[in-house]
Amino acid sequence: MGDIMEMLASALRMTIPVLITALGAIYSERSGVTNIGLEGMMMTGAFWGAYGALHYGPVGGFLLAIAMGMLVALIHAVVTVTYRVDQIVSGVAINILAYGLARFFSIALFGMATTSPSVNGLPKIDIPILKNISVLKPIATDISPIIILGILLVFVTYWVLEKTVFGLRLKAVGENPLAADTLGVKVIPYRYLGVIISGAFAGLAGAYLSIEHTHMYVEGMTQGKGFIALAAMIFGNWMPYGSFWASFLFGFAEAISMRVVQSKVVPYQFIKMIPYVLTLLVLAGVVRKAQPPASVGIPYSREGD
């Protein structure tokens, strides 16, 4: 039992960065903007998180990471929403740009291309009540506050999308921008906000990796998690709860993969493929039908050109 709980605890740690990024992606996609630049935004967050934590403490690190994630997202928003450039092209360019910038600033600020000095994380916390149940101890004690925050964000995102005016308008803009526009909802600002929120989430998730997970920035530490987050969001059918379970499934697979390396029953490379294969199956309608927002990926302009 103890082993299983340890395993769950490690799965939870793997889940959080994917989950937070996936939740952010929901805002962007539901507003109608595909964001495959998430990987770059996470990378940016991981780098500036470490830099900020080094100079201003962990909280400063997270704030800087969020701000930088938003800044990168702003570029994506300007290019895709205002200039209506193909969202995929912009996303690819942003990933390239973010990679170059992270390496450049790593050399300029840390004197090393691939790692930062080690940084302190946030103080670890215990969850009251749960920590007293001995079985739950591994997942209820000594955990990062960001894990709690990530789980809270699932509910917050659900509430924002389903219960607030902002959420309803955001979704309307992604489903049918022309109709929304006709009803007086300003399409452009909502899409900007959707993209920028996704950048903030991805920045936070990246900073979790560097500040909380490894206590330093390591080049390539996002390891395609931005794309896994995209997969989790699709697997979760563009919904917060769905994305949570998908992220958890993928986090679990990652936690297993690290153990499988030693046991060699299944090559761990195959376990790494799980998120991608599952997402393909969902998209192909083998597992169940995917329902993306109707206007995602399509630039909007009043003139219709």
Partner 1 sequence: MNKRFKIILLQLLTPIVAILFAIALSSVLIVAIGKNPIEVYQTMIEFSLGSADSVGEILFNATPLIFSGLAVALSFKMGLFNIGVEGQYFIGAFFAAFVGFTLSGIPAFIHLPLAILAAMLGGVLWAFVPIYLKVRRGVHEVISTIMLNYIAYSLIHYFIADLFMDRNQKVPEGLGSPLIRTPHFAETALMPKLHGFLSFFGIDLPNSVYLNWFFVIGLLLTVGMYYLLWHTPFGYEIRAVGSNPKASEAAGINPNKVYFKGFLLSGAIAGLIGLSHLLSFYGYMDLDFPKNFGFNGIAVALMGNNNPFGIVLAALLFGFLNRGAEGVQTFMGVPMETIVIMQGIIILSVVVAANILGRYIKRLEKKEA
Q: Which is nearer to partner 1, 94 or 122 (CB)?
A: 94
Rounded to whole angstroms, the Cα distance separating 134 from 141 reads: 10
Q: Residue 207: CA atoms inside 13 Å, Cβ hemisphere, count?
A: 34
7, 92, 127, 185: residue in contact with partner 1 (rule CB under 8 A): 92
Which of these ranges, 50-58, 99-107, 134-142, 160-168, lies near partner 1 under the rule CB under 8 A? 99-107
* CB 92, min distance to partner 1, A: 5
Asked if 241 interacts with partner 1 (CB under 8 A), we say: no
Burial of 182 (0-12, 13-18, 19+ CB in 10 A): exposed
55, 56, 59, 104: residue in contact with partner 1 (rule CB under 8 A): 104
* Integer CA distances (angstroms), 50 to 58, 143, 226, in order: 8, 19, 18
Q: Which is nearer to partner 1, 24 or 138 (CB)?
A: 24
In the block, which residue shows the tokens 């909007």?
300
DSSP state for residue 115 in the 8-state scheme = B
Asked if 294 interacts with partner 1 (CB under 8 A), we say: no
Asked if 287 interacts with partner 1 (CB under 8 A), we say: no
Angle at 283 between CA 16 and CA 82, to 5 degrees: 75
Which of these ranges, 57-65, 86-94, 150-158, 173-181, lies near partner 1 under the rule CB under 8 A? 86-94
- 231 backbone dihedrals φ, ψ, rounded to 5°: -60, -40
Interaction with partner 1 in 135-154: which residues (CB under 8 A)?
Answer: none
Rounded to whole angstroms, the Cα distance separating 138 from 232 reads: 25
Asked if 93 interacts with partner 1 (CB under 8 A), we say: yes
* CB 170, min distance to partner 1, A: 21
84, 163, 186, 302: residue in contact with partner 1 (rule CB under 8 A): 84
Rounded to whole angstroms, the Cα distance separating 11 from 41 reads: 23
Asked if 108 interacts with partner 1 (CB under 8 A), we say: yes
The answer to whether the beta carbons of residues 51 and 68 sit under 8 Å apart is no
Asked if 2 interacts with partner 1 (CB under 8 A), we say: no
Q: Which is nearer to partner 1, 172 or 231 (CB)?
A: 231
Interaction with partner 1 in 213-232: which residues (CB under 8 A)?
Answer: 224, 227, 230-231
- Binding letters toward partner 1, positions 7-36, x by CB under 8 A: ---------------------------x-x
Q: Which residues contact 218 (CB under 8 A, 6 or more apart)?
A: 114, 115, 116, 210
DSSP, collapsed to helix, strand or coil, labels residue 218 as strand
Q: Which residues contact 215 (CB under 8 A, 6 or more apart)?
A: 118, 119, 120, 121
- The binding site for partner 1 (CB under 8 A) comprises 34, 36, 75, 79, 83-86, 88-90, 92-101, 103-104, 107-108, 113, 224, 227, 230-231, 234, 267, 269-270, 272-273, 276-277, 279-280, 283-285, 292, 297, 305
